[in-house]
Amino acid sequence: MYLDPNDISPFNGNFFGLPSNIEEANLVYFPIPWDVTTSYGEGTAKGPQAILEASYQLEWHDFDFPDIWRIPRATFPISEEIYQKNQEMRSQAKKVIQHLENGGKIDASIITQKLKAVNQASIELNNWVYQHTKIFLEQNKLIALIGGDHSVPLGYMQALAEKYPSYGILQIDAHADLRNGYEGFIHSHASIMYHVLQILNINRLVQVGIRDVCQAEIARIQQDERIIAFDDWQLKDNAFSGMTWAAQCQEIVTQLPDRVYISFDIDGLSPEFCPHTGTPIPGGLQFNEAIYLLREVVKAGKTIIGCDLCEVAPGNDEWDGNVGARLLYKLSNFMLASQAT
């Protein structure tokens, strides 16, 4: 199919207007409109649509890989069924959260059925993601998953663990996400990495930018030799003491195995890049610092086997979607480019 990179991007339902179909694509964009367990600001279920709409304004030229747009990529449609289920379960989850915030007990009978329904729906969502990503992986396609809250990539990571004997995760995030459930929700957005570490084939978790954690999470980081945390406080102290970002990225990349999955929570960035995300936290990476780190992963010869971008939530303008679209494009381009290293 002839594509003119100098023309406008067609509004064709595909991220960035790239018109390939799934059968011929090397990479599939897989949006998941789900934010049931969001504990503070909601709206990330609308993130995929916001990123999609903003993506049409992006130029295909990539300064790292000028012609990489030529590699076929396609978009799995945003599921209206999943979105409607999300809305139904979100209303139940909010009642649980309100009960707890008002001093109610987690084992109160008034919320028992609501908790059960939300947890069951989350399990079903994980299975749905697993089944779809497994099919794409069996077809040797790369997948860029778009959340939704940060709970949604678990099924994808499980499918990857069946394809690869081992791999590591580079998590860019303001939060460690190592809680054993949160607010009664087993598959909370605050628990994704707790569940990920139950997958035996995942042998390393490198966390970058974390700056808002509970004591139990710190204890887990200190006790689990698979976890290497580069918290934002230390990253900034290093910078203030004269350590370059390039040197810090080398330390980070050295901790990664040859096969890497990148899990990018948008709140890993400084809040001016994601003002409407559910839990914005002061500090964090600048946009170009994150891109530099991802570039160094590829330059080091690591193979990026998968990625997700989560927690983008639209506000009253297109800024969050705009940043998300550009980050998604670079993430997917780095993943494609890494296949040749």
Strands 73-75 and 202-208 come out as: unpaired
d(CA 18, CA 238): 41
Sign of the dihedral through C-alpha 63, 64, 67, 72: negative
Residues of the chain with pLDDT under 50: none
**Over the stretch 155-171, which tens digit does the pLDDT of each residue have?**
999 999 999 999 999 99
b/e string for 203-227 if b means 16 or more Cβ within 10 A?
A: ebbbbbbbbbbeeebeebbeeeeeb
**Rounded alpha-carbon distances, angstroms, from residue 291 to 93, 249, 256, 269, 276:** 35, 11, 17, 11, 21
pLDDT of residue 341: 53
pLDDT of residue 136: 98
Q: By the 8 A CB rule, do 18 and 73 touch?
A: yes
d(CA 91, CA 179): 23
pLDDT of residue 2: 62
pLDDT of residue 213: 95
Report all structural domains of the chain as residue ranges with CATH numbers, in order of start: 15-338 (3.40.800.10)
Whose tokens are 């339902």? That residue is 13
